[in-house]
A and B are shown apart, each in its own frame.
Chain A
């Protein structure tokens, strides 16, 4: 017996180690609360790796800040000039959009809408990833200590990123929307078709459960539907890039995420969402887009894609004096105070601002002259339903106001003088 054991000692150890791991896998797969069964190992692993990641990110950020703030100031005058022009454009645009928003708010109040607003967010830095192509997740530098909880939505100025999967003491793991185990309730912007957005094993994002007899054009934007109770309704997720017949009765809709999930550096964790009913005299609450613009100070400015006269799509650049375009724009509308502290994100206490235009491209405002009655779509405005902060539409068929329906604000260049065709 001893001879046999001695002879096959290595194989026996191999079999034992494999057996223990397979057993562990079976326990994790069987239990739905997998987090608990393997939490200790994960805590140790994250505790061993994340301090180094944080240190490295801190060094990188510090060096980057020194470089950008002190040495690399080339072209700052030209950029300043462009930003001032952009602010002027936004001011003009804001006047019109705020009127649209006011009208929409009156209609919402009449219909007893309950809107869902992002009332609090927390900026976080990406410090690491899973390191595996099979598991698409990232680690952020905020955790339990900072009030992060599982299932909180994670977004950027461009759109949805994912949700918090596991929370550790000062770190959290975020499951990206292109992971195969993720799922987001989604809605197509124009056709209002709803589906479920999932990641594929290859890292692509597809919209499922849209019937094959529906017409879905490529290029249509995909927004969160709010049905998953994680992501507030109306946040941009991506754009339809390919539509093909799928299995069974559904279409295979390929979606390109608006956020570049492979180059995430800073994200926002939505720590609080408020449901509240609109009132006619209510001045616009803090919009998701405003929050995004204010809370991402270190996102490098994008090239001005729609620089000249673009309406409703403005890159989230900060003004040279440190204020955001949204703050600047509040001076246009009397009675709306600009937030003195952009960091205070609580909608209940923060000074209100005009709602539009959302000062970033990702959450661009589009007012559409839809003639479909609001109740006819799949998103009937019943009480208790969430209403996106970023998809407020005016000019719907519910004609309560004396004003005629406003024309669409198309996201294409328009001279400032023609901002109100009617």
Chain B
């Protein structure tokens, strides 16, 4: 039997209340903007990305996933000094990809979530750098070691954040 996003027998599909849908992404962007002013190392994390991935894999709906990613990304873009759309495009792709993968895989255990976050962090980075370099012609600093360290750090944080956000899920 083919697994689709409607096949609730094999994969659970979740939904979220409207306040959760609005407040959680806003809170993620807010924390991302505020905490680095006090704890500079926090800038290596990308909380809006983690929230995008979480919503995408929980809803298992590609359109919802990409729209959530686009909205969060654009909000994040609006706070930077760069053109709007860099994070928007990369998070749109991640939202679509994560929800597509969420349809086919069980991503409710910690190891799967860790690997998924690691994978999508790198995808996000590649799309972001690609758009920044080739569409906006921005110079980007690139260090494999640093980016891999960031990817692992985000994946670890993701596992914790997803466990917290699981409490807000409602079965569809």
Q: Is the CB of B140 within 8 A of A134?
A: yes
Is B86 close to A, CB under 8 A? yes
Also in contact, A129 and B84, with CB within 8 A (given A21-B92, A201-B139, A201-B141): no
B116 surroundings in chain A (CB, below 8 A): none
If over half of A's interface residues share one DSSP class (helix, strand or loop), that class is named, otherwise mixed; here it is mixed
Q: Are A181 and B135 neighbours in the complex by a CB distance under 8 Å?
A: no
Contact B82 A21 (CB under 8 A): no
Report yes or no: B86 in contact with A131, Cβ–Cβ below 8 A.
Answer: no
**Most chain B CB within a 10 A radius of its CB, from A10, A29, A38, A52:** A10
Q: How far is the CA of A209 from the CA of B36 in the complex (A)?
A: 32
Among the 9-residue stretches A40-48, A85-93, A229-237, the one with 4 or more Cβ atoms under 8 Å from chain B is A40-48
Per-residue interface assignment for chain B, residues 66 to 94, with 1 indicating a CB less than 8 Å from any chain A CB and 0 otherwise:
11001000111111111111111100110
Min Cβ gap A120→B in Å is 26
Q: Indicate if A332 sits at the interface (CB-CB under 8 A).
A: no
On whether the beta carbons of A128 and B37 are closer than 8 Å, the reply is yes
Q: Is the CB of B63 within 8 A of A173?
A: no
From A17, A25, A131, A201, B79 is in contact (CB under 8 Å) with A131
> Chain B: interface secondary structure?
helix
Q: Assess whether A180 is in contact with B139, with CB atoms less than 8 Å apart.
A: yes
Cβ-based interface call for A24 (8 A): yes
Residues of B within 8 A of A24 (CB): 84-85
Apart from A9-B63, A14-B66, A48-B75, what are 6 other A-B pairs with CB-CB below 8 Å?
A: A14-B96, A41-B77, A41-B78, A42-B78, A173-B81, A201-B141
User: What are the residues of chain A within 8 A of B128 when measuring CB–CB?
Assistant: 134
Chain B CB within 8 A of A18 CB: yes
- Assess whether A262 is interfacial by the CB under 8 Å rule: yes
Q: Does A165 contact B (CB under 8 A)?
A: yes
Q: Interface of A with B (CB < 8 Å)? A: 9-10, 13-14, 17-18, 21-22, 24-26, 28-29, 34, 38, 41-42, 44-46, 48-49, 52-53, 56, 126-139, 165-166, 173, 175, 179-181, 200-203, 262-265
Q: Give the nearest-CB partner of B45 in chain A.
A: A131
B92's nearest neighbour on chain A, judged by CB, is A17
A48 contacts across to B, CB distance below 8 A: 26, 75
Residue of B nearest to A265 (CB): B37
Contact residue among B30, B67, B138 (Cβ-Cβ distance under 8 Å from A17):
B67
Please, which residues of chain A bring their CB within 8 A of the CB of B136?
Answer: 25, 29
Q: Contact check, B32 vs A131: say whether CB atoms are below 8 A apart.
A: yes
Contacts of B52 on A, CB cut-off 8 Å? none
- The contact of A180 among B62, B88, B138, by CB within 8 Å, is B138
Residues on the B chain within 8 Å of A135, using CB: 80-82
Distance in Å: Cβ of B19 to nearest Cβ of chain A: 15
A45 contacts which chain B residues (CB < 8 A)?
Answer: 29, 74-75, 78-79
Residues A28 and B83 in contact, CB atoms below 8 Å apart: yes
Query: Contact between A134 and B78 (Cβ–Cβ < 8 Å)?
Result: no
* Residues on A with beta carbons closer than 8 Å to the beta carbon of B36: 129, 131
Contacts A/B (CB < 8 Å), 12 sampled: A18-B92, A18-B93, A25-B85, A29-B83, A29-B135, A42-B84, A48-B26, A56-B34, A126-B37, A131-B29, A134-B138, A135-B82
Decide yes or no: A129 and B26 within 8 Å by CB, A17-B70, A24-B85 being known contacts.
Answer: no
Are the C-beta atoms of B141 and A10 separated by less than 8 Å?
A: no
- Inter-subunit contact B37/A202 (CB<8 Å): no
Task: With A49-B30, A138-B37, A264-B37 as known contacts, state yes or no: A165 contacts B81, CB within 8 Å.
Answer: yes
Which residue of chain B has the shortest Cβ distance to A136 in the bound complex?
B81
Q: Please judge, given known A-B contacts A41-B84, A137-B80, whether A14 and B139 are in contact too, CB under 8 Å.
A: no
Which residues of B have CB within 8 Å of A203?
141
- A38–B96 CB distance below 8 A: no
6 A-B pairs with least C-beta separation: A45-B78, A135-B80, A201-B141, A131-B32, A202-B141, A25-B85
Q: Say if the beta carbon of B43 comes within 8 Å of chain A.
A: yes
Residues 32-65 of B, flagged 1 when their CB comes within 8 A of A and 0 if not, give 1110110010011000000000000000001100
